[in-house]
Chains A and B, each alone.
Chain A
Amino acid sequence: MAYAFRAATSQGNASGGALTVTKPTGTVDDDLIVVVAYLESDTNTWASVGAGFTEDTGANIDNTGAFDMRVWWKKASGEPASWTWTPTTNNWRTVVCCSFSGTLGTAGGRVDVRATGQADGATTFSCPTVTTTVDNDLLCAYVGNFGGGAYGYTSGPANTERIDFGGLTLYSLDDAGAAGVEAATVLNAGTQDYAGGQIAFKLDTGGGGGAATQVGWVGAGWW
C-alpha cells in the first residue's frame, strides 16, 4: 500500500509566540504526520515542539537574513487533538501539518533522502533533485517565501498542492514509484526570497529485516 494524503491544517501566519498546531482530520494511528514550519528570522529557533516529533535536521534551511525553515515527522500513535510549537523569540511564524495514510518505514531510517536550497529575488523556486533509494517513497516539496505570496506549480514530480498558507506550502507525490532520481519540483510565487527543499519518506514494506524464510513439512523432517 502506498502513502495517500489524508488531510491538512495550517496555523499562525502572524507575529506571536506559542502556536497550537491542530491534528489533521481523520488522522489515525500509524499515519505519517509531517509538520513544516516557517519562522522569522533566520537566527531564531524553536524552543519546544509537539511531543514525539522528530526533526529532520538535514531538511533545515534558512533564507539568509530573513527566515528559517524546518521539517518534523511522526508516526501517529494515540495523538492528541493538537500540539504546541513555541519559538524561542516571538516573531512571525507559520506552521502547516499534513497526515498521510500508509505505514511509515521502521528500519534503516524513516527519511530516505532530502535536499534543500534558497534563492533571493527569484521569480520561481526549484526544490532540489533527490535520488530515492527505495521504491514507493512519499515525496514532499516544501517552500517558504518572505512575502507570504501564494504558489503556482511550474514543474516537477511533487505536483499536488496539499496546503498553501501564508507563503508556506507543501506539495506531494504520494507514491514516487521505483527508486531513482526525482527531478526538482519548481514552484512560483512571484519575485520573492525563498527557501525549501524536497524530502522523501520511506514506506514500510512489511519486512522486519533479514531474508524471508520458508518452513514446510517434507517426508520425515523440516526443511
Chain B
Amino acid sequence: MAIVTKVLGEFNGGLVRFEYDYDNNDLRVRAFRCVNNSTEAAYGQITRTSDGASHDLRFAPGTTQINIPTAPNQRVQLTLRPDGKLDGAELHLAWPYP
C-alpha cells in the first residue's frame, strides 16, 4: 500500500495547487488539499454528477494546506478510470478569487 498524490489543478506556476491523495491498494481517495502560496484567495467546488450535490470552499491567501472535509455525508462517490482520471464529480476551480 502506498499513498499517491495527484495534482487536480494548479494556477500560476504551481503557486496555487489542488491535489488529492489516494491509496493505490484499495483506490480510495484519502484527502483533498489546496495549497495556496499566493497572495490571493482561491476557490474550489466539487459537484457530484449523480445528484448535483456540491461542496465548495474559499481558500485564503497564504494557506499552506487545508484538508477538504471527507465526512460520509460529504463524500462525492468518485470513480477512478483505467486511464487514471477521476470521474463522477464536476470540478470548478478559480484563482484569484474575491
Say whether B84 contacts A165, CB under 8 Å. no
Contact among B7, B85, B93 with A9 in the assembled complex (CB-CB below 8 Å): B93
Let me know if A160 is at the binding interface, CB within 8 A.
Answer: yes
Tell me the minimal C-beta distance from B1 to chain A in angstroms.
22
Contact with B along A143-169 (1 / 0, CB 8 A): 000111110010000001111111100
Q: How far is the CA of A26 from the CA of B94 in the complex (A)?
A: 11
Say whether B90 contacts A161, CB under 8 Å. no
Contact with A along B77-98 (1 / 0, CB 8 A): 0000001111111111111111
Say whether B85 contacts A25, CB under 8 Å. no
Instruction: Enumerate chain A residues within 8 angstroms of B98, measured Cβ to Cβ.
Output: 25
Interface of B, secondary structure class, is: strand
Say whether A14 contacts B11, CB under 8 Å. no
Tell me the minimal C-beta distance from B35 to chain A in angstroms.
13
- Chain A, Cβ-Cβ closest to B92: A11
Instruction: Enumerate chain B residues within 8 angstroms of A9, measured Cβ to Cβ.
Output: 92-94
Give the size category of A's interface with B: 20 to 34
Contact among A14, A16, A20, A164 with B9 in the assembled complex (CB-CB below 8 Å): A164
Say whether A161 contacts B91, CB under 8 Å. no
Say whether A14 contacts B93, CB under 8 Å. no
Contact among B12, B84, B92 with A162 in the assembled complex (CB-CB below 8 Å): B12
Contact among A11, A146, A147 with B90 in the assembled complex (CB-CB below 8 Å): A11
Let me know if A15 is at the binding interface, CB within 8 A.
Answer: yes
Instruction: Enumerate chain A residues within 8 angstroms of B84, measured Cβ to Cβ.
Output: 147-149
Instruction: Enumerate chain B residues within 8 angstroms of A20, measured Cβ to Cβ.
Output: 92
Interface of A, secondary structure class, is: strand
Let me know if B69 is at the binding interface, CB within 8 A.
Answer: no
Instruction: Enumerate chain A residues within 8 angstroms of B91, measured Cβ to Cβ.
Output: 10-14, 165-166
Let me know if A22 is at the binding interface, CB within 8 A.
Answer: yes
Say whether B13 contacts A13, CB under 8 Å. no
Q: How far is the CA of A33 from the CA of B68 in the complex (A)?
A: 30
Contact among B85, B88, B90, B95 with A7 in the assembled complex (CB-CB below 8 Å): B95
Instruction: Enumerate chain B residues within 8 angstroms of A22, measured Cβ to Cβ.
Output: 92, 94
Contact status of A25 and B90, CB under 8 A, knowing A8-B11, A166-B8: no
- Minimum-distance CB pairs A-B, first 10: A165-B9, A150-B7, A148-B85, A9-B94, A161-B13, A10-B93, A11-B92, A164-B10, A13-B91, A14-B90
